[in-house]
């Protein structure tokens, strides 16, 4: 079997540089909108600096769908905490919030 160079397999150059850092924040945010919200919040900011910077901005958090995650967690206190964090992160730009089993404190925070 023939070995491939890293550039051929990974799409970057031989030194391992990534082209992700060249994408605009708007393009990354559009791509991130296809990823489940719970995964975005838990893991994506650890991939690289440009992803972390984009995820720190509110435009990634205008549409938040946590229904599946809420059904898996099924703990109102945890769900309320996460909703409060995401509402803060959105800086008031949330247009649609989909959750299941939201408690009173999470609802009050999301509604304000």
pLDDT per residue as tens digits for the range 20-40: 668 888 888 888 888 888 888
| Spatial distance between the Cα atoms of 24 and 32, rounded to a whole number of angstroms | 12
pTM of the model: 0.64
For residue 27, being part of any structural domain is answered with yes
| Spatial distance between the Cα atoms of 52 and 54, rounded to a whole number of angstroms | 5
Contact 66, 79 (CB under 8 A): yes
For residue 9, being part of any structural domain is answered with no
For residue 70, being part of any structural domain is answered with yes
| Spatial distance between the Cα atoms of 17 and 111, rounded to a whole number of angstroms | 43
Residues 6+ apart with CB under 8 A from 69: 36, 37, 38, 82
What's the number of domains the chain is made of? Answer: 1
Q: Which residue segment(s) compose the domain that 65 sits in?
A: 21-111
| Spatial distance between the Cα atoms of 44 and 38, rounded to a whole number of angstroms | 10
**Average model confidence (pLDDT) across the chain:** 78
């Amino acid at each position: 079997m023939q070995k491939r160079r890293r550039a051929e397999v990974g799409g970057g150059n031989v030194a391992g540089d990534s082209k992700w850092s060249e994408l605009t924040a708007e393009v990354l945010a559009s791509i991130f909108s296809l990823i489940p919200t719970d995964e975005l919040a838990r893991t994506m900011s650890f991939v690289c600096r440009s992803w972390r910077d984009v995820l720190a901005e509110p435009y990634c958090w205008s549409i938040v769908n946590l229904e599946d995650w809420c059904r898996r967690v099924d703990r109102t206190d945890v769900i309320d905490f996460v909703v409060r964090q995401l509402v803060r992160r959105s800086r008031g730009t949330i247009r649609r919030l989909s959750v299941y089993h939201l408690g009173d404190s999470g609802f009050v925070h999301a509604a304000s």
